[in-house]
Amino acid sequence: MSETPPALEVTDLHVSFPSEAGPVRAVRGVSFSVRPGEVLGIVGESGSGKSVSSLAVLGLLPETADIKGSVKLHGRELLELDDRDMTEIRGKDIAMVFQDPLSALTPVYSVGDQIVEALRIHQDLDKAQARKRAVELLDLVGIPDPARRAGAFPHEFSGGMRQRAMIAMAIANDPEVIIADEPTTALDVTIQAQILDVLKKAQEVTGAAIVMITHDLGVVAGFADRVQVMYAGRPVETGTVDDVYYRPRMPYTIGLLGSIPRLDDGGRHALTPIDGNPPSLVDLPAGCPFAARCPIATDLCRRVEPELTVREGGNHPTACHRSHELVAGGSLDPATIYPVPPLPKAPADSVPREDRTPVLEVDGLVKHFPLLYGAVVKRKVGEVRAVDGISFDIREGETLGLVGESGCGKTTTLLEILDLPSGQSGTVTVFGKDIRGLKGAERKALRRDLQVVFQDPMAALDPRMPVGDILGEPLKTHGWSRDRIAARVPELLGQVGLDPDHVDRFPAEFSGGQRQRISIARALALEPKLVVLDEPVSALDVSIQAGVLNLLDELKARMNLSYLFVAHDLSVVRHIADRIAVMYLGRIVELGSAEAVFGAPSHPYTQALLSAVPLPDPRKERERRRILLTGDLPSPADVPTGCRFRNRCPKFASLDESDRGRCREEDPAPTGLAGDHTAACHFAAAVTVV
């Protein structure tokens, strides 16, 4: 394979943008090459320059960008070409799949028309031929009923379908290179598995080289042949997936691998966070850009930036002054360079679950919305059964992970609890009080014990208020005196690991992870008993995520808190939750202790969900067999009869006709398995998938 010349070869690419504060050096010396049929994964956190590099390859950066270096397609230099010549190459030799398929498709043309356009730019086809080919392409990427769906507009497609259409467009002209920029980031995990499958197929059909850009080390582990890790605008480590995942030699890669919550490493333990934040690309300090966060940085690291070099003749270049010490048998052990914080033991852990008092009990909760149609003329055309009868409880000192894909009703459940409304049906009992009968003062008292942390830390903090006022607001609302507030605020900042002197700073002066810590501090201000966490780490980069997760764990143990942790990411939940509730289409399909649900998943949906989560482990990924679900999540406005999962259920497909009849007609109730582990499936049976 190394004999074939590379299809795309990028050498020493530099990109900078002018800005108010000075030039932003977004890309600083990127080199990579991909051969036909090969997949290169480029991994990095936000701002690492990975997307800018790909746009530079296609010549799609704004005119203000300053680009230097070399980009060669089959030996032909692209950076010297003018826009007219690049037009010939774009979409024909190099195709691109973008991250957000909704905004990446023109809203006013049908999907079919947009593929026809792509075909007719580069091929001499008449309209009918192109149309026929477009339908074939849609069929190839797995869009059902392609001839009819070709006439649909992008907004009428689901996210997964749109991404399939984008891939169809990308392979329309049989390209040499496909650049996929975070192609699955906006998608749910089961859809992500489908799209990765389609991409694989697209590669088989076209034989193209694929450059896969992502922030998710799990996604590329099983998909890529080689990986390049980027940090602060330049590659810091490159190699085969096995080399990079099993023998990382750059502290950043090591830290990144250690900070990812993994589904497969057996239960709860503290993650190893990388302290600090990525540097600003405007004026980078001298030396290694990672030095400030690196546990093994030396004076040399702070003075001289290391080059990406291959040592001892291998095929595994690393940009680190100390990488020779990090090899097997070297003086440093990659596994121990990051200190692992101890995970404190919660007082509640020693008390059996049934002896602890319940803090939240939800029984048969229902929330239906009227379905309105039309932007100008709104009318009710149906009913969205967002939450359709769910029951669970949370005991003192316990974390319940409520997981499910978008649209499953988890956010509605959370808002129903927080809004303290009268509810449509079912009861919500908080600290033993049914929220239905509550009057003003009692509600306010209840709010003191029930706090919330939202997903987006920027949106959750009023940007116009200094941190002191933000943290003081709940205290002020609940009648604390000025002096007590002034004493409490620095204390809170200290608790979440921030500098207590920063009370008069504004949210914008903090990084994402720090802002989420402020959000947590605000939630804790009144010393609540139950904290509702709505995707609290999904807006953060992995290396930051780990620190916040550790903090949550620590606070829970110290303050004997209970968490309702809502998330879509099963790996994150694996690390924080004692109990798991899996939601699908307004129902909890499986509920039980984390060990039971992850170790012996018994509902076919849970099994598919777990099997779709990629592991940052190339060997395991290659060996795993995915349970691929067909189709998209049905609309909660159009819930199937009987079991609501049946038309996507792999188990249903394997049943005989009489058993299928049962699934079609009878809505399965949660049935007890071992202990308090329940699954709402007529044919629940445990399977090991991780």
Partner 1 sequence: MGRYLLRRLINHVALVLIAASLTYFLAAISLNPRANFAGRNPPVAASSVTATLNDYNLNPDTPVVVRFAHWANGVAHGDLGRTVTGGEVNDEFARRVGVSTRLLLIATILGSIGGVLVGAWGAIRQYRTSDRVTTLASFFVLAMPVFVIAVTFKLWAIDINDAVGHKVIEYTGEYDPGLTGTGEILLSRLQHLLLPSLTLIVIQVALYSRYQRSTMLDVLGSDFLRTARAKGLSRRAALMKHGLRTAVLPVVPLLVYNVVLLFTGATFTEKIYGWHGMGEWLVNSISTNDVNAVAAVGMFTAFVVLIAGLLSDVLYAALDPRVRVR
Partner 2 sequence: MAVQTPSVQPPSQAPAAPGDQPARRRASGRLRLTAVRFSRNRMALFGLVMLVLLFLMAYVSPLFYKWDYTELDFTAFQKPPSGEHWFGTDQTGSDLFALTARGMQKSLVIGILTGLICTFVAAAVGAGAGYFGGWTDRSLMWVVDLLLVMPSFLIIAVLSPLFQGTTWLVFVVLLAAFSWMITGRVVRSMTLTLKDREFVKAAKYMGVPAPVIIFRHILPSMASMLIIDGTIQVGAAIIGETSLSYFGFGVQSPDVSLGTVIATGTPAAPSFPWLFYFPAGCLVLICLSIAFIGDGLRDALDPNSSGAKARAPRTAKSTSTEGRTS
Binding site for partner 1 (CB under 8 A): 55, 58, 60, 83-84, 87-92, 95-96, 98, 100, 103-110, 117-118, 121-122, 153, 155, 166, 169, 173, 374-379
| Closest C-alpha to 159, from 183, 134, 130, 124 | 183
Q: Which does 514 bind (CB under 5 to 8 A by kind): partner 1, partner 2, none?
A: partner 2
393-452: contacts with partner 2 (CB under 8 A) = 418, 443-444, 447-448, 450-452
| Cβ-based neighbours of 30, under 8 Å, separated by 6 or more | 10, 12, 13, 49, 53, 69, 230, 233, 234, 235
Instruction: Between 431 and 506, name the residue whose CB sits nearer to partner 2.
Output: 506
CA pair distance 222, 615, nearest whole angstrom: 8
Nearer to partner 1, 169 or 551 (CB): 169
Strands 530-534 and 562-567: parallel
Binding-site residue total for partner 2 (CB under 8 A)? 56
- Choose between 378 and 464: whose C-beta lies nearer to partner 1: 378
DSSP states of 18-67? --TTS-EEEEEEEEEEE-TT-EEEEE--TTSSHHHHHHHHHT-S-TT-EE
The entry of partner 2, partner 1, none that residue 100 binds, CB within 5 to 8 Å by partner kind = partner 1
If one asks whether residue 17 binds partner 2 (CB under 8 A), the answer comes out as: yes
| Residue 78 interacts with which of partner 1, partner 2, none, CB < 5 to 8 Å by class | none
Q: At its nearest, how many Å lie between partner 2 and the CB of residue 579?
A: 23
Closest contact distance (angstroms) between CB of 328 and partner 2 is: 34
What is the identity of the amino acid at 90? Answer: R
Stretch that binds partner 2, among 77-85, 295-303, 508-516, 612-620 (CB under 8 A): 508-516
Out of 19, 315, 481, 688, point to the residue binding partner 2 (CB under 8 A).
19
Q: Does 46 bind partner 2 (CB under 8 A)?
A: yes
CB of 232 to partner 2, least distance (A): 11
Least Å from the CB of residue 482 to partner 1: 46
Is the separation of the CB atoms in 586 and 385 below 8 Å? yes
Binding to partner 2 (CB under 8 A) within 510-539 occurs at: 510-512, 514, 519, 522
Residue number, 173 or 519, with CB nearest to partner 1:
173
Hey, what are 185's tokens? Answer: 């980031």
Please choose, from the candidates 389, 390, 373, the residue with its C-alpha nearest in 3D space to the C-alpha of residue 381. 373
Q: How far apart are CA 234 and CA 10, in angstroms?
A: 13
Q: Are strands 579-584 and 587-593 parallel, antiparallel or unpaired?
A: antiparallel
Residue 87 contact partner, candidates partner 2, partner 1, none, CB within 5 to 8 A by sort of partner: partner 1
**Closer Cβ to partner 2, 266 or 494, answer by number:** 494
Cα(5)–Cα(561) distance, integer angstroms: 59
User: Least distance in Å: CB of 439 to partner 2?
Assistant: 13
Is residue 51 a contact point for partner 2 (CB under 8 A)? yes
Least gap, CB of 63 to partner 1 (angstroms): 10
- The residue range among 172-180, 193-201, 506-514, 555-563 that interacts with partner 2, by the rule CB under 8 A, is 506-514
252: left (phi over 0), alpha (psi -120 to 50) or beta: alpha
- The 8 Å CB, 24+ separation contacts for 146-153 are 149/111, 149/112, 150/110, 150/111, 150/112, 150/115, 151/110, 151/112, 152/110, 152/111, 152/112, 153/107, 153/108, 153/109, 153/110, 153/111
Instruction: Give the shortest CB-135-to-partner 2 separation in angstroms.
Output: 33
In the complex, minimum distance from the CB of residue 463 to partner 2, in angstroms, rounded to a whole number = 5
Q: Which helix (H) or strand (E) holds 484?
A: helix 482-495
Tokens at 275, concatenated: 């302290």
Smallest distance, partner 1 to C-beta of residue 560, A? 47
**In 589-628, where does DSSP find H-type helix?**
594-599, 604-612, 618-623
- Among residue numbers 61 through 80, which ones bind partner 2 (CB under 8 A)? 61-62, 64-65
3-state secondary structure of 372: strand
- Measured between alpha carbons, how far is 559 from 600 in angstroms, rounded to an integer? 31
Q: Which chain residues interact with partner 2 by CB under 8 A?
A: 17-21, 24, 26, 46-47, 51-52, 55, 61-62, 64-65, 277-282, 418, 443-444, 447-448, 450-452, 454-456, 458-464, 466, 473-474, 477-478, 504-506, 508-512, 514, 519, 522
